[in-house]
Chains A and B, each alone.
Chain A
Amino acid sequence: MSKTKKMMYINRKAPYGTIYAWESLEVVLIGAAFEQDVSLAFMDDGVYQLTKGQDTSGIGMKNFSPTYAALGDFEVNKIYVDKESLEERGLTLDDLQHLVWEDEDEDWAEKDSIHLVSRAELSDVLADQDVLFNF
């Protein structure tokens, strides 16, 4: 397969309560092998997926949030977070994990993966994609 498409995974739901977030992350990890131009968007309750310090011990479910930190190693390094969704929930960037990737073109310099964008900016990013997977 030689085609490269812009593929975006849109995450709109809380990490627990339903399985959408976890099974979305599974698609992202598998999809990374296809060498497409991949990006992720987190909006609505989906922003909770990236919060740090998640503790699932009380609900008997696996805490899969450490997996997000590995995305940079899968060359998944364009992560867009909807600013308004954060604000509506009383969250700031400081409440989220610090996700980074290493840029091999700049001597493996560590760079931020998360881009905080306004809803209008995110709308432009969405419009620029070839494929949107909505979870």
Chain B
Amino acid sequence: MNSSARIVLGLVIIVAVVAGVFAFLQAPQTAHGPTESPAGNVSPITIGFIAPLTGDGAALGQNEKVAVELAVSEVNMAGGIGGRPLNVIYEDGQCTGKVASNAANKLINVDNVPVILGGLCSGETMSFAAAAEQAKRVVLSPCSSAPAITDAGDYIFRDYPSDLFQGAFGAKYVYEQLGKRKAAIVYVKSDYGVGLDKVFREEFTNLGGTIVADEGYDQAARDLRTQLTKVKASNPDIVYFVGYTEGSTVGLKQAADLNLGVSMFGADGWGDPKLWTDVGVAGEGAMYTTVSAPLSDDFKAKMKEKTGSEEVLTCSPGAYDGIKILAQVMSKVGTDPTAIKDELYKVEYIGGVSAARVAFDENGDPAEASFAVKVVKDGKAVIR
């Protein structure tokens, strides 16, 4: 083939591709044209969702997604929001700041959503809080607990308590109820882990206890032997271990391999049943703090119908209530993000599944919180 023939062929290909792309873009637009016109108030209200659907914390995120789908279908069955159906765009944040931030940018700039329900991991929420604040979009996180989110912005809310409360509750429990005086801390180096490490350390020391080791690990690390070796050498009474499912799975196993021989005490990141089936005997007797949610029998039954499991995971009640709260707020003030924000500060939601009463303080944090401790027996976590 000579060069002019090549150029002609190249041009033909380019024209064909461009024409194809145009046809592709045109088709759905004409098909959806009528529903997208502002005629009447039946067009769907679309909001965004960000949680890990793959990778670290995916089990929590998938369960949360089911709770959101449940809440959305209930809202729509009851007539939607002022007659308009609620629609959710689900994005995978992979429990990673960079991925979640890309997802949020897409939701804000392309999908133009007024509200994002998410992220789940604190690192996700922190990564896009500033962008959402600047674009004046409401963020409601059902599960991010890092203390820094309190000051993340006016448009940033969560119906899940800050680790300031969880870490302090944990430290108090370990010191007073379990009577431990020497604690070692192993924590994941994420917004979540670093926040809990700091709070636990301060509270435990204030109570009169000693932190004998304080070791962090990368979220992607799957070898915690060096950290655990240092922990073992420090001779603690108990190990406060903050992590997500994957790092904790290897960490608990390696602690057992190293014959650490002391109780392991974790935080709400351990509320994933896969962790306890994966670690097997190495997890027996481990304890962790968890937000105590009222979880109505009705909600549990509906979740079981969809997931086939008795367990409602940590982030799901807050996500379910979050959708209900947003629906209530948008029914009253419409879809303007600033109006939604102003109304959220005034909202009082009674009879939820995440807490008996949900209200937000001046920082967009839950006004109150209560915790419980679970212990692992025969591979299952039960309230202690």
| A and B: bona fide binding partners | no
Binding site for B on A (CB under 8 A): none
